[in-house]
Structure 1
């Protein structure tokens, strides 16, 4: 997938949204779990305080005594992380769990109403942070009121450990969920964009000339686009037909003046004005060739760009050779045809005739004694036409290969023929190269793609569009 792919963009957007949503959800779940654990710990510590309140007694001498130890063995294990402490507000007498060892929990001097539970984060005996729950309980002993501040505390590391374990489990679960949701998102994107693939194939069929309009009827979201493109195709087809009709009308309208011009040139020649007659005849001939060239270009621009069925290229070559052999120079040429009867070109018969006719006519014009035609290839056709004429220099060949240089302007005497041939080859996605035939002469190589390669090239072209 390329960076400009709509499928990739949608998937990246879905992945980013999903990751953000799962991250927020995971953070929220961990936070909720931590608050739940803190509440549970607070309830548990409050239970210990209630047990302390039920089992503590004040001796006549003012000392405190726990009649029944708490059940959790961690209270008896030094620095275990679970502690309790009782302080007499009046006398300052303290009673502590063995787990506190010689440490005293330094409680804040806050106002603590009887029966109200306060929670604090305070330093512990080993420098750890304790989650402390405290409550004030009032006793009356021998008519004397005693206020006891009872405290139970738990190392916050246990809360953090529980939160970390929960976060790990949630993270793993959310990661699996993310993979499942990303796969589901990819499937949704693939299914959602499938109509675009049908649209691409339909556009490719229009490009290939297999249909005149885009034949897609769903989904509704792209139908306005399809309608606009079909309207554009229809308008383009009408514009091309109008342009072709006007070009044909123009060519037909110029035939009579050109004929009159040629007739006048012949009359001047009979009167002895040969120089003027030659100029008029060359002018008329050049205008006729220019008109034919532009008509050929107009026809190629409206052509589909690919023939559905191949033609036997040898039959076309032999037909052109029979025609050229009737000319004075063509009758003196030795023709070497090295083309198999199975050689096939995916090009319309009209374009094949015009292409090879131009190239063979050019070869006849410049050759001395021989013209060679060879063709070979399976998935694609390579046609080589050689003559034994004077050829062209390497610098002229390089100019012929430059983009934007007209072949008829690059070398004197080439005329518009090779320009027409180049247009035909380009219209069918082929390639035409020029070279030197050893020991002397000129060589033209035409590469025409096969049907599968042409379809592949057109498909890639529609994807780039």
Structure 2
């Protein structure tokens, strides 16, 4: 089914080449068939003329003039059509006083022969019995002594309907033969196009392997015509890897450069609180917390942008999920939660382990804060799904998450981790969807890059 969908996919080069090849093959066979019909018509007519001329020569050899002015035909041609009335083959011998002899097939008809000159063979068209169209050969012979020579006009003709019947018989064989040949050629051309497109299929698979992290560069074992494309893509992959590494280092430098001043401000707030200035300490701590959240989100965006290149490494989800769930189970809570881990053992998610850990950690921590009794992590297709049985989230609250805001100030950090997770998912080419869970609470769907 996948193979057939690739053949009919709109804009497919394979489809365009196959259709063009089928059209050209059909046109070539059509023109070739028309040419064959013309050739066969010409050959059939030439052969008929040769047969008629041989009969005319035979008749000329059998004529014996008699003293009374009549002639004697010593032997008639043996073709049975000449003995049947309107049998399709006719001969006629004309002399000075008029028609002298004619074949039985003419019955009571006479052929109207145009005036001819010379003893050479003349190919003529004339009308036969029943307004039939005839193809004829006419010859003139002179027989007798020199002083009593007599001229005789010999005409042998055949009904064109007999030739047409042979033509129809030939076409009844030619058309199916050309159709079968055309089908065979189209299938052969389709196989040829499929074979010619294999290097591009291999290139596609190689790019997918590079993107999923199974290999560092594309294989160079390709046809010479495709090798420049492979070399250019390998250079692009290498350059992008270097650029991403620089971006990771810059993000780490920025983290160290920003978190140190924030730590100093936090220390200053604690000193102020210790000296009795609680109001100033609260103001500083509130601003430090807001700045920390913004720094964390900016760093997450920078890191996600740096890893969203051609090469994307897949991470096994179950080990990461088990580690996170183990940590979250040990956190203090006022209720007992049931953690359900329904991810297959070999399931992988197209993200770096660090990004996957942060995204899953944020989503699972949010579910822990709001779940009444149950949190579930599962897989739907190639997407990860986290569900809880909490109060859920309205459309307006989801819109706040999309804008990077917290949707509830009553609990610390509520919703901000989801905003960071959305940034990480979208920067990597994936997505995060917020839906209603089957348990009645929130359902977070992490969609990997396509």
Q: TM-score by structure 2 length? A: 0.82
CA–CA separation in structure 2 for the residues paired with 1:431 and 1:136: 101
Q: Which residue of 2 aligns with 1:315?
A: 323
Q: Report the CA distance shift for 1:268/1:162 in structure 2 as closer, same or farther (over 3 A).
A: same
3-state SS of the aligned residue for 1:126?
helix
1:165, distance to aligned residue in structure 2 (A): 1.6
Contact 2:220 2:230 in 1 (8 A): yes
Q: Which residue of 1 aligns with 2:301?
A: 297
> CA contact under 8 A between 2:390 and 2:442: conserved in structure 1?
no
Alignment coverage as a number of residue pairs? 431
Look up the SS of the partner of 1:70 in the other structure: coil
> Secondary structure of 1:83's match?
strand
Contact 2:92 2:99 in 1 (8 A): no
Matched, 1:408 2:405: yes
Q: What is residue 421 of structure 2 aligned with on the other side?
A: 421
**What residue in structure 2 maps to residue 14 of structure 1?**
21
Q: Does 1:49 align with 2:41?
A: no
| Alignment counterpart, residue 217 of structure 1, candidates 214, 221, 235 | 221
Matched position secondary structure for 1:95: strand
After superposition, the Cα gap between the structure-2 partners of 1:378 and 1:269, relative to the gap in structure 1 and judged at 3 Å, is closer
Q: Secondary structure at the match of 1:334?
A: coil
Give the CA RMSD over aligned residues: 3.5
The CA distance in 1 between the partners of 2:136 and 2:82, in whole Å, is: 15
> How many Å apart are 1:236 and its aligned residue?
1.6
Is the aligned partner of 1:131 residue 2:138?
Answer: no
- 1:84 aligned to which of 76, 91, 105: 91
The aligned residue for residue 383 of structure 1 is 386
Listed as ranges, the gaps of 5+ residues in structure 1 are: 326-330
Q: Counterparts in 2 of 1:46-445, with a 5 A limit?
A: 46-88=53-95, 90-109=96-115, 111-114=116-119, 116-141=120-145, 143-262=147-266, 278-301=282-305, 302=307, 304=312, 306-308=314-316, 310-311=318-319, 313-322=321-330, 325=331, 331-340=332-341, 344=345, 346-347=348-349, 349-363=353-367, 372-376=374-378, 382-387=385-390, 392=393, 394-396=394-396, 399=399, 405-408=402-405, 414=414, 416-424=416-424, 427=428, 432-435=433-436, 443-445=441-443
CA distance in 1, matches of 2:60, 2:343: 109
Tell me the distance in 1 between the aligned counterparts of 2:336 and 2:357. Answer: 17
| Alpha-carbon distance in structure 1 between the residues aligned to 2:156 and 2:37 | 25
What corresponds to 1:328 in structure 2? none
Q: CA deviation at 1:67?
A: 3.3
**Distance verdict in 2 for CA 1:274–1:437, change over 3 Å:** farther
| Rounded Cα–Cα distance in structure 1 between residues aligned with 2:121 and 2:390 | 110
For 1:230 and 1:376, the matched residues in 2 are separated by 36
Q: Compared with structure 1, are the counterparts of its residues 156 and 400 closer, same or farther at alpha carbon in structure 2 (3 Å cutoff)?
A: farther
Q: Deviations over 1:172-193 (max 9, x none)?
A: 3333333333333233233322
> What's the TM-score, normalizing by structure 1?
0.80
Q: Distance in 2 between matches of 1:377 and 1:363?
A: 16
Rounded Cα–Cα distance in structure 1 between residues aligned with 2:84 and 2:139:
24
Change beyond 3 A, Cα 1:28–1:222 = same
Q: CA deviation at 1:119?
A: 0.9
